[in-house]
Structure 1
Amino acid sequence: MKKIYVLLLGACLSSLPFFFAIPSKAAALNERLSGRILLSVEEHGEAWYIAPVTKSRSYLGHAETALHFLQSKALGIKNAQLFEIPTESEVLQENTALRQRLSGAVLLQVESHGEAWYVNPTDLKRYPLKTAEDALFIIKTFGLGISLSNLSSIPIEQTIAGAVSLLYPPFVAQAPLGDWSDPRQADGCEEASTLMAIAWARGEALSPQTALNKIIEMSDWEESVYGYFRDTSVQDTANRLLHQYEHFDTYSIENNANAERIKQVLAQGNVVITAINGTLLGNPYYRGSGPLRHMILIIGYDAAQDEFILHDPGTQFGGSMWFPVSRVENALQDYYSGDQVPVGPPRTAMIVISKPT
């Protein structure tokens, strides 16, 4: 399991030297920001790369995936030309036309050992891109903050390299402000998963305070209508929380959920709410062995690593976690609705969430 690197960035976003919001002007943002790395400041600092050729954005994922993705975009260059682009410690004034033409590009040193370099648009110097640490340094040092509305105006080319993924859904834990003593929050995985999925589908932000208010309101409504709020099956989560409470109807329920079908659904541009046996998932941030009845939001698939990317509301650190596909599939387990009723026979199901047309 690997955590997305943007979580590592979260604690240091305020120290980024180029971290500021971008005003919306007449000139197309994707033209002005060609070659830049952008950080979504209104979410979790997710990093995107604006390709100089297509002027579209690609989601970078965690540090290792960002490295492989950026290297996959590299243009071959001979040493004679490469050496006209200064490194960080060099001062060269010649051939500024070449440097401007390659601004924001990733270059592959074909006459050496295939070393990769990133040409930073702000100083037109080249920086090594050999390791995941190099990729993280470039993102932290040169990443530029951007609002969600401005980011959304830039077309998407693809997301994670070698992977199927989506526009990044907001993450909230089921105890958004950390009050796990409240049973409505301690048992709020269905509500939290629903809120994250709907916020993504509607293109809305989801702050921890808003999520807390909604989880409490939803749980109180369930208590008044059904007599309990704990543990709702996939079918009941869809019918009660999505349809009845949120009046959200662009979803479908599929029984016999499995890994291959989840991959297909993600490739079609949808996210997946599914029920699991948390004791089989192996999330290291769970208290104890984890919840027997649990619900998560699957947001992507990393084909290179054969891992699902998911939001797990059962921990404050559950945003964008990578787990092996085999482990997630093994953990799939729907359960009966009710307050601590038996889980029931082995079965799987999922809710496919689509964006309204």
Structure 2
Amino acid sequence: MPRTRSYAALLSVLVVVLTGCQPTLNPNPIPDAPPSASPASTPAKALPSSAATSVPFSPQAPFANWDAAHEEACEEMSLIMVVHALNRTALAANDAERELQKLLAWEVTHGYGVDVTIEQLGRIARDAYGIRSSILSDVSEESLERAIAAGRPVILPIAGRELGNPYFSGEGPWYHMLIVTGYRHGFFGQTIFKTNDPGTKRGEGYEYSASTLVHAVHDWTGVKEEIDRGQRKMLVVESKSLGEAAPT
């Protein structure tokens, strides 16, 4: 036997001794499983070209008495309008003024200041009226459209002077709140938002371009001159336990 074959035979014996069996190869190896494809994301539901919610209107000064209290009452009147929308009741000037005074007194009793953040307004809505809402930091043209298309009014905190509303007195308020009640797409596809803006008697259904409105969204910072540093947030109304349209 040639020496090379002797070496091969000796090597086979050593393998058997060391492993107890001859090494075998799988004649039909199982191929590696291909990487699983990630599930396709569910496309977002297409939005209608226009949508609106029914919200009765009142300016924050129902009888045009623009004293210090009424000049700061945009947050409260926005909330009162939402309450009547959820209760499906009209909002006459007498009722708006009476409920405004009652809500202002409630806020003083419960330790709220003249200006409130959007999160504080959410707590007021819950504690005074039983309204459930969500505070979202995703404030965009699409997020506003989706809320409105779902039938949910939206309250926005605003740097009022960035709106450029010609019906405001002077340059307009440093800090403001209003309700977004609807939207439509213009002839060239641009989005126009419909609002109930309590800062003017002409505020019912007042329209702002999407770029103007979204750009102006800023929450209260505590300093009016720094309102443009405020965070972008919005309050989306969810539901309400129906009852008297006034704080308890």
- TM-score when normalising by structure 1: 0.50
**Among 284, 304, 310, which residue is 2:195 paired with?**
310
In the other structure, the counterpart of 1:239 is 123
The aligned residue for residue 139 of structure 2 is 257
Bigger radius of gyration among the two: 2
| CA gap 1:227/1:203 in 2 versus in 1, 3 angstroms | closer
Q: Give the whole-Å Cα distance in 2 for the aligned partners of 1:226 and 1:172.
A: 25
Does 2:166 correspond to 1:284?
yes
Identity %: 26
Answer whether contact 1:271 1:352 (CA < 8 A) is retained.
yes
1:243 is paired with a residue of what secondary structure?
Answer: helix
Distance 2:107 2:225 in 1: 17
Shift of 1:247: 2.1
- The correspondence of residues 148-297 of structure 1 with structure 2, limited to 5 A, is 162-166=49-53, 168-181=54-67, 183-226=68-111, 228=113, 230-240=114-124, 242-249=125-132, 251-297=133-179
- The answer as to whether partners of 1:269 and 1:354 remain within 8 angstroms in 2 is no
**Separation (CA, whole Å) in 2 of partners of 1:170 and 1:223:** 26
The residue type paired with residue 74 of structure 2 is C
| Alpha-carbon shift at residue 281 of structure 1 (Å) | 0.6
Once the two structures are superposed, the pairs formed by residues 84-95 of structure 1 within 5 Å of their partners are none
The residue type equivalent to 1:292 in the other structure is: W
Q: Which residue of 2 aligns with 1:345?
A: 229
How far off is 1:218 after superposition? Answer: 1.2
- 2: CA distance, partners of 1:247 / 1:165: 23
- Supply the RMSD in Å over aligned alpha carbons: 2.1
User: 8 Å contact 2:221–2:230 — kept in the other structure?
Assistant: no
Shift of 1:345: 3.1
Please say if 1:320 is aligned against 2:205: yes
Per-residue deviation, 1:164: 1.7
Aligned mates of 1:343, 1:220 — CA distance in 2? 26
The DSSP-based 3-state class of the residue aligned with 2:173 is coil
Report Cα offsets for 1:104-141 as digits up to 9, x if no partner. Answer: xxxxxxxxxxxxxxxxxxxxxxxxxxxxxxxxxxxxxx
Letter in 2 for 1:164: A
Separation (CA, whole Å) in 1 of partners of 2:225 and 2:122: 19
Q: For residue 222 of structure 1, what is the amino acid of its counterpart?
A: E
Alignment deviations for residues 230-256 of structure 1 (CA, whole Å, 9 cap, x no partner): 11000001102x01112222x211123
List alignment gaps of at least 5 residues for structure 2: 1-47, 242-248
Shift of 1:291: 0.8
In 2, the alpha carbon distance for the partners of 1:266 and 1:247 equals 21
Unaligned stretches of 5+ in structure 1? 1-160
